[in-house]
Amino acid sequence: MTSTDGRQKWLTVAEELAAGLRVDAAERDRLGAEPVAEVGALRRSGLLAVRDWATQQAVTRVVGAADANIGHLLGYHYLQVWRSGLFDNPAFDPGEDLFWAGVSNPLDAALELTPVEGGFTVSGRKTFATGASVADRLVVSATRADTGEKLTFTLDARAEGITYAGDWDNIGQRLTASGGVAFDRVHVPAGQVLGGQDTATPRLSLAALGFQLVLAQLYVALAEGALAEAARYTRTTTRPWFLSGVDKAVDDPYVLGTYGELVADAKAAGLLADHASELLHQASGRGAELTAGERAEAAAAISAAKVVSTRVANQTTSRVFELCGARATAAGYAFDRFWRNARTLTLHDPVSYKAREVGAHFLTGEHAPFTGYS
């Protein structure tokens, strides 16, 4: 099977899964339960085992357009598997049907490793950890108490000493299980340590760019999903304005023009995100030969995609109400979930700093600093 055939196979699977998610997306959003059933659906679909980079990006968008929560979980799953592979540790085995999540908020360095015979124990609490409470395995970052070195390691998500707070109550992404996680002297076998986080090494520092890319892809997915849902409503339910002179809303030139602008923006944002994705894939494939300059090009492309997709997601998920009409604000339609999800996700880190990075790279050639966000 060629890579193209394989990609189409998984896109078909993703579209089938998305169709199922779309049926009750509004009701599940209202309930805001832990996404146990949804992760089970991901596992049964086989999508967790996809390893082709471009296919991962494509199916994340398809699933994310139907339900940004589940697209978020799937995108982060792929990210954690890829990120773990950057350490080139032969002991790492992602498994075929394991769901991976991460515990590594860079601004919340609250986990401490204590050396013990055969490895370490880890203690502390992380405020946010998307998908951790419904995961099979975790990729965790913590700091050694004796040396200050930051290490990344894997854990069974049900290991003794791990508790999940279940305290995620934000207005959007309500089904991402993004609450806090506490560790109480959890044993970390030496064989599960992937390596140290040497952020001065270009290839290891790519993990931060991977997070940013997943977010950009999700922003595009939110715009695409909002447009698809609005279009279904406009075709079947929206009434034409009495001054339009047409019998159907789909014939109103202002409706058509607005859809045209929003669709064009979403397509442009998607192409930009896919271009950035390809540059990151190339950078990752360079291995130890990756240069700071090559890394900087990928970083600038991802930041540009983030700037554009942020604007497109927030604008599109708001303006679709203009295309559907006042009746579309009824709670039963839950069109607001697209805006709430976009507004929540796009605040992950300040997009103005991404714009600054793009501008500095363009004007002066400045490289984005190696941080947990760039």
Please give the pLDDT value at position 276. 98
CA torsion 265-270-271-273 (nearest 10°) is 120
pLDDT band at residue 198, thresholds of 50, 70 and 90? Answer: low
| 137-144/100-103 β-pairing | parallel
pLDDT of 280-310, one tens digit each? 999 999 998 999 999 999 999 999 999 999 9
pLDDT of residue 200: 65
For the chain, give every domain's residue range. Answer: 3-85, 100-196, 206-364
Here the contacts of 249-256 (C-beta below 8 Å, separation 24 or greater) are 249/325, 255/323
Q: What is the CATH code of the structural domain delimited by 100-196?
A: 2.40.110.10
DSSP letter assigned to residue 373: T
* 184 φ, ψ (degrees, to nearest 5): -120, 95
**Average pLDDT across the chain, whole number:** 95
Angle at 296 between CA 292 and CA 302, to 5 degrees: 145
Question: Could you count the other beta carbons within 10 Å of the beta carbon of residue 26?
Answer: 17
Instruction: Give 162's strand partners.
Output: 183
Higher pLDDT, 202 or 337: 337
Percentage with pLDDT > 70 across the chain: 99
CA dihedral 208, 209, 213, 215 (to 10 degrees): 30
Q: Which residue has the higher pLDDT, 110 or 322?
A: 322
Q: Please identify, in words, the CATH class of the domain defined by 3-85.
A: mainly alpha
User: Rounded to an integer, what distance in angstroms lies between the CA atom of residue 279 and that of residue 282?
Assistant: 5
- Taking the complete model, does pTM exceed 0.85, yes or no? yes
Output the six-digit token pair for 74: 């799937």
Q: Which pLDDT tens digit goes with each residue over 138-193?
A: 999 999 999 999 999 999 999 999 999 999 999 999 999 999 999 999 999 999 99
pLDDT digits (tens, 9 = 90+) for 205-254: 999 999 999 999 999 999 999 999 999 999 999 999 999 999 999 999 99
CATH class of segment(s) 206-364:
mainly alpha
Q: Is 137 helix (H, G, I), strand (E, B) or coil?
A: strand
Render 139-208 in DSSP notation, one character per residue. Answer: EEEEEETTT--EEEEEEETT-TTEEE------SS-TTS----EEEEEEEEEGGGEEEE--TTSTTTTHHH
Q: With 70 as the cut, is the pLDDT of residue 1 above it?
A: no
Say how many residues make up the chain. Answer: 374
- Would you say residue 20 has pLDDT above 90? yes
CA distance 141 to 343: 27
pLDDT number for residue 24: 95
pLDDT at residue 46 in the model: 97
Here the tokens at position 77 are 């799953």
Task: Tell whether the model's pLDDT for residue 4 goes beyond 80.
Answer: no
- Region 61-85 average pLDDT: 98
> At a CB cut-off of 8 Å and minimum separation 6, what does 69 contact?
29, 35, 38, 173, 174, 175, 176, 341
Helix (H) / strand (E) containing 113 = strand 112-116
pLDDT in tens, 258-276: 999 999 999 999 999 999 9
Name the pLDDT band for 107 (thresholds 50, 70, 90): confident
C-alpha to C-alpha distances, 184 to 125, 126, 141, 161, 188, nearest whole angstrom = 9, 12, 15, 5, 12
Between the alpha carbon of residue 130 and those of residues 134, 173, 183, 335, the distances in Å are: 9, 10, 16, 23
